Structure 1
Amino acid sequence: MKISLFLLKRAYSISPELFPYIDFLIYRCKQKGYLPSLDNSPVAEIEDPTFVAHVDRREPLDESATSLNVLKIPLASQASTSLIDAIPPAAPIIHQGSPRQQTITYALSRTEVVYHIANQVVDILRRICVECAIFGSLGCHLYGNERSPNDIDILALPPTGIHITAEWLKRAIVKLDSENFCLERPKDPKATFRILYFTVDDKLAPPNAFHKNKCKIDILFPNTLHLPSLSKNEIKWQHGLPVIPFSVLLLQKLQGWDDHRKMSEYYKYEKQYMDASDVQNLLKLEHIVSLRFSKPWWDRRFFSQEFQVLSLRRVEDFCGEYPASKEEWARLGFRVPNERGVAARWLAGSVLASEWVCFQCTNS
């Protein structure tokens, strides 16, 4: 039996109210032995026996009751436009038993979640009159480093004359937003401090985007890790978040590299490579240009005397490990080792006489 290719493709996808008319039209075509072409499409052989059997089961109908005019079915010359316009788009076939695949779209990426958490912490601290500034990997990212931050490091700056501790601040943050923040004990059973975490819901970020679905927040006070006490005017703002000055961030990241390469635990030791990459990237950012002229490394507001001496040695060690960075450190005013291992440049500025000693490498 022959039938229009249009009917073959669309018979199972048309709307329910049109299906009886199409079915009847097919039956009449079979009975009369001719085929009206509804869409001027070529004819095709029906090879589906179930469909033929369905048509063949139809009993002969009364001619007067089943004429095309009585049923108001358009004739072949008129059917093409009206039927095609009435047919909805074919729905995709879904096999029974095969689950639908759903694509979950998360609102934020990992980095955006870290920014979101940092904004919440900053807002809470400022609500209780505590200024703050971000450093660490997030601080580097705020200035333009490409590596995504792992956690949040915040320098808290309480008002003068107010004596509070980091532990008090952590408890205050949890009390003001216990739904998102929590305190947990560290692995060391003898430790007296608690670790502040932000619980990352699966609705906020993809699963396993954060270790144990938690983001760690470290809150430190001035003089810890040689961090300076900044005034409100000395805090810089990048992308809506407060951050420590770029010069302080650079030497703090250099300090992190030096500390991690001396660690006995492997997971801490290997962090030196991320720190080294961050330092090298910071040396390439646009913020480094102004430091070539200002050379603020001897400003005691930002760098203690001990930190200055340690930074001298760290720059030399870093240049020994990563010689490609020597030129930029020299342009910043730091002394860098030459081929003999002797410092070839000195820091500019007024320093103590003892700090003008030429540092020799161990093999000189």
Structure 2
Amino acid sequence: MDLLLARYGTLTKADIETVARETVASLNSCGFLSCLVGGAACMTYGITRIPKDIDIVVLNSGLTTEEIKNRLVSTNPSFFLVPSRNPRNTYKVLWYNLRGASSYLRAEHACKVDVLIPGIMNIPSVRQQDVVHTSMQGSSVPIMPFIAVLLLKLQGWADHRVSYRTDLRDKQHVDVADIYQLLRAAVQNNEMHVRNESWLPRSFVAVGKMRVADFIRTHADSAIYWRQIGLANP
């Protein structure tokens, strides 16, 4: 079991794309709409760092995240569940076996899949017509729109920097590098502006702008980028 609970090998961009594509396809077969968030979404928007897992939001299931995970395992045998490392947690962790469903050694090479629903971690609900699509290995994969992805990444930075856990506080430095890469990509694309994401809840944007102000206080040279995408005052 300890072997199963470890992270299973170093992931490549192709691995992430495979798991993203297969997860979306499996959710589609269950009748669920979804979109990528987190590191996998950031990767499609210009971040060069390869994420360690997949974060995907299921938009229309009406189920709990545990029920969705069980549906995925039943639908696609490449998915499997293991208990959380924390014995106090009742949930199970979903993984995708990159060696294929027939491989006995699941721990040899696998990717964790975090299944989310709107509201968890303040993730906004997005309408199907507002979801962005990108091509991965010849398949269309849905992505959360850019400004939402950026503000959720900023939320992660804000949470990490005040965490009581040293390992999480250390993540803020990776967050900063990711945010700068996203900002530089955004200013090269006129469509990546808050005015183009009117679907976002006003409260989500307002809280995001407060975090932007905090980020600028510690990283003043980022202000020009935030202004260009409409998230900081001129």
Tell me which interval the TM-score lies in, with the shorter structure as reference length.
0.7 to 0.9
Aligned with residue 163 of structure 2, among 239, 247, 263:
263
- 5 Å-filtered alignment, 1:56-71, equals none
Structure 2 gap ranges (5+): 1-10, 101-106
Q: CA deviation digits over 1:71-95, x for unaligned, max 9?
A: xxxxxxxxxxxxxxxxxxxxxxxxx
**TM, length-normalised to structure 2:** 0.83
1:136 positional shift: 0.7
Aligned with residue 218 of structure 1, among 98, 101, 114:
114
| Number of equivalent positions | 214
Q: Which amino acid aligns with 1:311?
A: G
Aligned with residue 72 of structure 2, among 166, 173, 177:
173
Are the counterparts in 1 of residues 99 and 108 from structure 2 also a CA contact under 8 Å?
no
More strand by share: 2
Q: Which amino acid aligns with 1:135?
A: V
More helix by share: 2
- 5 Å-filtered alignment, 1:73-152, equals 110-152=12-54
Are the counterparts in 2 of residues 237 and 243 from structure 1 also a CA contact under 8 Å?
yes
1:187 aligns with 2:85: yes
Are the counterparts in 1 of residues 158 and 211 from structure 2 also a CA contact under 8 Å?
yes
The structure having more radius of gyration, on CA atoms, is 1
Aligned with residue 312 of structure 1, among 193, 204, 209:
209
Instruction: Evaluate the alpha carbon distance shift between residue 269 and residue 288 of structure 1 in structure 2; reply closer, same or farther with a 3 A threshold.
Output: farther
1:296 positional shift: 5.1
Paired residue for 2:7? none
Aligned with residue 180 of structure 2, among 280, 285, 291:
280
1:166 positional shift: 0.9
| Secondary structure, counterpart of 1:196 in structure 2 | strand
Q: Which amino acid aligns with 2:52?
A: N
- 5 Å-filtered alignment, 1:31-50, equals none
Q: CA deviation digits over 1:79-113, x for unaligned, max 9?
A: xxxxxxxxxxxxxxxxxxxxxxxxxxxxxx71101
1:304 positional shift: 4.8
RCO (CA 8 Å, sep 6+): is it higher in 1 or 2? 2
Q: CA deviation digits over 1:16-42, x for unaligned, max 9?
A: xxxxxxxxxxxxxxxxxxxxxxxxxxx
1:325 positional shift: 0.5
Q: Among all aligned residue pairs of Structure 1 and Structure 2, give the percentage whose two residues are the same amino acid.
A: 27
Superposition CA RMSD, Å: 2.3
| Secondary structure, counterpart of 2:13 in structure 1 | helix
CA distance in 1, matches of 2:111, 2:155: 23
| Secondary structure, counterpart of 1:184 in structure 2 | strand
